[in-house]
Amino acid sequence: MADNEHYDVIIIGTGAGGGTLAHRLAPTGKRILILERGGYLPRERDNWESTAVFVKGKYRAPEFWYDKHGDSFPPEVNYYVGGNTKFYGAALFRLRPEDFGELRHHGGISPAWPIRYEDLEPYYTQAEHLYLVHGRHGEDPGEGEVSAQYAYPPVRHEPRIQQLSDDLEKHGLHPFHLPIGVNLTQDERGRATHESVCIRCNRVDGFPCLVRGKADAQVICVDPALEHANVHMVTGANVRRLETDPTGRSVGRVVAELEDGSTAGFSSDIVVVACGAVNSAALLLRSANEQHPGGLANTSDVVGRHYMRHNNLALMAVSKEPNDTQFQKTLALNDWYLGADDWDYPLGGIQMLGKSDSDQIRGEAPRWAGMASPDMPFEVLAHHAVDFWLCGEDLPQPENRVTLDGDGGIHLALDEKNNIEGLKRLQHKLQGMLGHLGMHPHHLLPHSLYLHKGMPIGATAHQAGTVRFGSDPRTSALDANCKAHDIDNLYVVDTSFFPSIGAVNPSLTAIANALRVGDHITERLG
């Protein structure tokens, strides 16, 4: 395939960053080309089958990366239109204002951003409205100031989760409705109405949505953007390198390998990279040339460094009473986000996961050998399961990095014990409350299958930080507008730009930032 047309903007990737940016730029009338490595996710029954999605990893990319010891592992990545948002849980949290400043953790310093919460706040509101986020600002006492309420009311708790919320409040805590992006209309009892796209099923976490009820980047942004005549997309286009012009100051050509094995080159005034934190760094490193021997945008030697992915735990408690909940992902708790009465450092946040089923639990059983597993059949255990996600901040360390070997293979070095004390204490807080929350107090089981974890490094869903932005070109790759310091027409808008990651899901921040950068690019294009 040869493409001789010159575009105004090329966007590489269609996830939370790239897909949202395409949506923002589409109404400008500028010539926009989207290059996506994958195709559209097949719509089939396996989309909602636990064995296919979690046990067999049917939709996971068939590739392997390497850890710092050279051992291979399957990363948690999916190459489809919509990127990893096809499989995200649509939990769309804002970072707190404190996350944008320097924060001292037990394990070190979380650095300040070159922009403030107030700079991103209007875009957070726009992002929440665009991605159909259901929630209620004001319930979480630690959240930042907001310019507008969510456009959609919170997803109502089902009885067992409402009881959990009530029990937490009795302990003086402040549970709140988890902000979640779903195309849901509820009746007075919280049930999905006849015209609602979302049906409030038990597949709302980690599964692609068969009925297009989850607010993912394909449904919300890419497909609507393609309705504009000036926007075009090539799927099956694996971008292999960016070539600069003779001055080395501008990307002149984007080179992609197509599905038929051929190579095509594309050109544009502006090139935007949004391949995911690992693959974006790999692309810039792979594009090294005479003017940029360390890779593009890498005079500072930070490209690939400071990789972050959160310190996460997926845990399953066992309720004394049956848990008939279908749509479980409706509650969160941030009381210990920045510290506790018995500890001065941040712990992180707790939120609900999608409801476990017997297939997931059967897949976990071998990992529970030797643990105090309840003496229940899988189906009974699944009926009593209550599933939690604990999220703590890991810290940007230069040694946690993406590199390439001589064959182009991706290597990911990671200190898996980075700042984990806060997460341990958060788990201890939850464990200590189980008896007061109607749970069996000694049964808090690791739910690692949920994360596609063959090994901890494989949990790459929240990857961030490898092409960080900042005000100093000596310590950052991008400026405050996410433009490369070294390259005049190169931007990065996925989670690569994060200098720190906070302790909430990064998607909404990536979406809000893409809207912000989209306004900047629109102004630049005139």
Residue 7: in which H helix or E strand, if any? strand 6-12
Q: What is the mean pLDDT of residues 139-155?
A: 98
As given in the structure block, the two tokens for residue 394 are 């890991």
Q: What is the mean pLDDT of residues 330-356?
A: 97
* 469-523 confidence digits (pLDDT tens): 999 999 999 999 999 999 999 999 999 999 999 999 999 999 999 999 999 999 9
pLDDT at 26 exceeding the cut of 60: yes
* 10-20 confidence digits (pLDDT tens): 999 999 999 99
Tell me which of 82-91, 111-120, 447-456, 459-468 is least confident. Answer: 447-456
Bigger pLDDT: 1 vs 381: 381
Bigger pLDDT: 455 vs 309: 309
The three state secondary structure string of 129-198 is HHCCEECCCCCCCCCCCCCCCCCECCCCCCHHHHHHHHHHHHCCCCCEECCEEECCCECCCCCECCCCCC
Tokens 């992006």, located at residue: 181
pLDDT at 449 exceeding the cut of 70: no
As given in the structure block, the two tokens for residue 51 are 């064995």
Res. 453 pLDDT band, cuts 50 70 90: very low
Predicted local confidence at residue 454, as pLDDT? 44
Q: Is 408 exposed, middle or buried (0-12, 13-18, 19+ CB in 10 A)?
A: exposed
Short-list 279, 505, 302, 309, CA closest to 418: 309
pLDDT at 374 exceeding the cut of 60: no
pLDDT at 452 exceeding the cut of 50: no
* 236-270 confidence digits (pLDDT tens): 999 999 999 999 999 999 999 999 999 999 999 99
* 203-220 confidence digits (pLDDT tens): 999 999 999 999 999 999
CA dihedral 241, 246, 251, 257 (to 10 degrees): -30
Predicted local confidence at residue 447, as pLDDT? 76
Which residues have CB under 8 Å from 166's CB, separation 6+?
Answer: none
